[in-house]
A and B are shown apart, each in its own frame.
Chain A
Amino acid sequence: MERTALPRRLEWQLGQVVAIVDETPRTRSLLLDVPNWPGHTAGQHVDVRLTAEDGYQAQRSYSIASPPEERNVVLTVERLEDGEVSPYLTEVLQEGDQLELRGPIGGYFTWRVADGGPLLLIGGGSGIVPLMAMLRHRAAQHSAVPARLLYSSRAFEEIIYRQELAQLAAADPTLMVTHTLTRQQPPDWTGYRRRIDRAMLAEVAWPPSEQPQAFVCGPTALVESVASALVDLGHEALRVKTERFGPSGGTA
Chain B
Amino acid sequence: MTKEFFSRGFLGRRREVTEAGRLPPGQYLTDGFPVLSAGPTPYTPKDRWDFTVVGAVETPQRWTWDEFQKLPRETVTADIHCVTKWSKFDTRWSGFSLDMLLATAKPQGQYLLAFCDGGYVTNLPLADVTNNKAWIVDTYDGAPLPPEHGGPVRLLIPHLYFWKSAKWVRGLRIVEEDQPGFWESLGYHNYGDPWKEQRYQGD
A residues engaging B (CB < 8 A)? 1, 6-10, 12-14, 47, 49-53, 55-61, 84, 88, 92-93, 97-100, 105-109, 220, 223-224, 227-228, 230-231, 237-238, 240-242, 244, 247-252
Contact = CB atoms under 8 A, between A and B. Distances in A.
B32 A247 contact: yes
Contact of A59 (B8, B85, B119, B203): B85
Contacts of B11: 52
B186 A58 contact: no
Interface string B26-65: 1010111111111111100000000000000000000000
A7 B202 contact: yes
Nearest to A1: B178
Given A84-B12, A237-B39, 8 more contacts: A59-B28, A61-B85, A92-B8, A92-B9, A227-B40, A228-B40, A240-B39, A242-B37
Contacts, number: 131
A99 B36 contact: no
A252 B32 contact: yes
B93 to A, nearest CB: 17
Given A14-B5, A50-B12, A88-B7, A108 B26 contact: no
Given A12-B2, A84-B13, A228-B40, A251 B32 contact: yes
Interface of B: 1-2, 5-14, 26, 28, 30-42, 84-86, 118-119, 148, 177-178, 182-183, 185-187, 199-203
Contacts of B148: 220, 224, 252
B176 to A, nearest CB: 10
